[in-house]
Structure 1
């Protein structure tokens, strides 16, 4: 199969299927939409850790983008779910905060043609199929400036599996160190972070990780 053959059509079909799946999740209020920033990211914002131009990958309805914009940061959110993006834009209009929301595949970040100082990821990476992770990391290399930081909030392997249920991948510390090795330096990984949800149950056990883009990322495939 060559690049001028059916591959682009297949990729377009895959992106469209992903978009339809995500829009379907927003047909009702999904569990991760809590109507406010995740406490772990809010604490980072208050500490001054979020700086410069900020990109939120898988931004949903925009809570973290609006949080950053409210701090005076240049904030952009990308997502494939049109339903979520429309809600995010409506929130920005009602709040009077200037923020940008783009319909974009997080596996193709390089296509943005922009550079950022901070990348936020609240619950996006753990949704990726492992086969899609290399494409995402290549995109991070393209958009995150050397010395820029990637902040990740994701499911931990300490969160029990629900029998018969499908959902986010539970990540181990080795997943964090091995997956991003050669591209990002793991500054810290807090295993006791909580991901708040809107269901009548305790929050999800998660990782809060901070990573710094290396000056010369190693070549990886």
Structure 2
């Protein structure tokens, strides 16, 4: 699948160590494993920014999708990693959560349905190259109803020093590609919560300065984007 080219995500979900890019650091943990939803997603939900049905693309460990469903929203969540989807279905069954989890190529989104009123991309889009990103945003446009709101969390260029980015993620490039099908309402740098502790981060990326939250989890800068389907 396209979003696997920079990093073997399925191997990561199988518990294996994975190298980021050819010369990047090796990760021993899943960086986004919080055992709960991403705080920025919680913030959006509490602000009433999601209406159903919701499509999550690149759902990873499924925690955001499960959280959305437990707030009463109808949710379809897709990822290109079969291991993640299998694990997520088991988690949903154990929690009695009604989420449709499916394996799908983000650049095509075949078989996921359509008519979505909201969509969530929590740190997927920066894994795509320029052509894949344009195809992805077009596929999302087709799957979402007019006026649907798309929420994206996407790493900015500075993160490329230690995390592989598939294409340019500066503001101008993102606005250009989004503008083909989506009207950007919000685009600002926020902080993305990771599973890394300071010690783990310094071992992986020595001599780097980063923030942490009250629980000691490393916070990385990320674009928070909201766009409306035009």
Please tell me the TM-score bracket, short chain as reference. 0.7 to 0.9
Q: Which runs of 4+ in 1 moved over 4 A?
A: 167-170
User: Is 1:110–1:142's contact at 8 Å kept on the other side of the alignment?
Assistant: no
Aligned residue number for residue 195 of structure 1: 192
Partner of 1:48, secondary structure, is coil
Aligned residue number for residue 118 of structure 2: 118
Aligned residue number for residue 109 of structure 2: 109
How many residues were matched structurally? 197
Aligned residue number for residue 53 of structure 2: 53
Partner of 1:203, secondary structure, is strand
Unaligned 5+ segments in structure 1 are 1-13, 215-221
User: Is 2:129–2:166's contact at 8 Å kept on the other side of the alignment?
Assistant: no
User: Is 1:159–1:170's contact at 8 Å kept on the other side of the alignment?
Assistant: no
Which is bigger in relative contact order (C-alpha 8 A, separation at least 6)?
A: 2
Aligned residue number for residue 25 of structure 2: none
CA distance in 1, matches of 2:150, 2:61: 20
Cα distance change of structure 1 residues 183 and 96 upon mapping to structure 2, 3 Å threshold: same
User: Is 2:76–2:112's contact at 8 Å kept on the other side of the alignment?
Assistant: no
Offset from partner CA, 1:168-206 (integer Å, 9 cap, x none): 656211122111113101001121x11111112321110
2:163 is the alignment partner of 1:176: no
Cα distance change of structure 1 residues 112 and 205 upon mapping to structure 2, 3 Å threshold: same
- Higher normalized helix content (fraction of residues): 1
Task: Give TM-score scaled by structure 2 length.
Answer: 0.78
Cα distance change of structure 1 residues 213 and 167 upon mapping to structure 2, 3 Å threshold: closer
2:14 is the alignment partner of 1:27: yes
